[in-house]
Structure 1
Amino acid sequence: MFFRILTAIACVAGIAGCTSYSGPAHNTDVVTLANGTQAYRVQCLGLLESSKTCMAEVKRICGDKPAMRISSVDHITSDLKSENNPREITFQCATPVAEQPVQPAPVVVAPVPVPAVAPAPAPVRHAPQRKITLQGDATFAVGSATLTPVATAKLDDFVAANQGVDIERMTIAGYTDSTGSAELNNRLSAARARSVQGYLATGGLRASKWDVEGYGSASPVAPNTTAIGRAKNRRVEIQVDGK
């Protein structure tokens, strides 16, 4: 009788409607909950029955679907003590959640290291070339102030070595051997010195002062008695002073 009273209270308080059917060892009700959904309520009230009987009926009703217990009422002894043996179970058969396919872990691609760009080496700056001598028949044609390719190659190196140098004074001195008249030698040596000056200036060399002179056969560096000595004396000396 006590359980029937509880059942009636449940139908009034939380269940909007009840439909009953019975088995040999239990009573099963199809009930409508207050939220409008349907559920089952199994009662196992016989003296020889237990919660196992109710659970067997729950399993039979739900089959392979998991049972979701909504409420349960424990068996009460004559002194109103609970036996931890539920004899009334209200439940729903939950729809099993379809197993989600296991997504493979994303493949993390390590970034390709960007090779460090080595800084460009600083340009090597050579020490300025202070002095150069154009000497011999390979630097000028015989009796001429025209520079040969050998002479211009040497002057190009000289210009490159002194680019950006603040030159205070550029001295260019032309010389000849002792053959020929003094007037001819002075004129030829000066023409060759001016030819060198023009080439250097065209190449980009700048000087605060240009000292360009022809000295003829003066100041020989070798004897004029041999062809080798005379070739050494035919020369143009270039001197850089200051920065």
Structure 2
Amino acid sequence: MFFRIVAAMACAAGIAGCTAYSGPTHNTDIVTLANGAKAYRVQCLGLLESSQSCMDEVKRICGDKPATRILTVDHVTSDLKSENDPREITFQCSTPVVEQPVQPAPVAVAPVVAPAVASAPVPAHLAPARKITLHGDATFALGSATLTPVATAKLDDFVAANEGVDIDRLTIAGYTDSTGSSELNNRLSAARARSVQGYLATAGLRASTWDVQGYGSASPVAPNTTAIGRAKNRRVDIQIDGK
């Protein structure tokens, strides 16, 4: 399969569009990632378009070069369930690896042993992190799925702490307080979870599987009868499972 499909809705956090052009079955943008690199984003969101339209456009753009997935957005049903049908793909065309000629083995030389130097302690904010939680109005504005600077700073620390870690499964769960309708809370919690996923992906965090869900007002961690309790319940939990 050309890409490993990830069932998630995309957020534009960290990606800025530069150029756009379209065809009869797709829209294509050239975008700038959070690290400044350029990438392509193909969208096939119309009723007459399909995930195959997106895949065909990716193959057309990259030609003989391998395509590296940055982020995929799955089509979802009206009840926010993934259909395993990607309708947006952000990717880069990689340069094929050229095999280098085998060099003669070097002559063995006795190594020079340097005196042992004590390594500096790892700063606490960069220690390996297995789980973080974005709490309350400091990380999302009320009724919004847009990340605040406080939230992106916490996510940047999380990415830095897990640089080079092979992540089997990354779970992102969004929650709200009990105010508002169940439909609104489910939609808002899912949008916040997807915002977090989009930011982590564009910041360079890689995982074999992303589990991104919104649970509305379920599983409160504090009473919803007070403002402080409701703020604690408005949260997004991010957890690494496996390695």
Which structure ranks higher in relative contact order (CA pairs < 8 Å, sequence separation ≥ 6)? 2
Structure 1 or 2, whichever has the larger Rg, is: 1
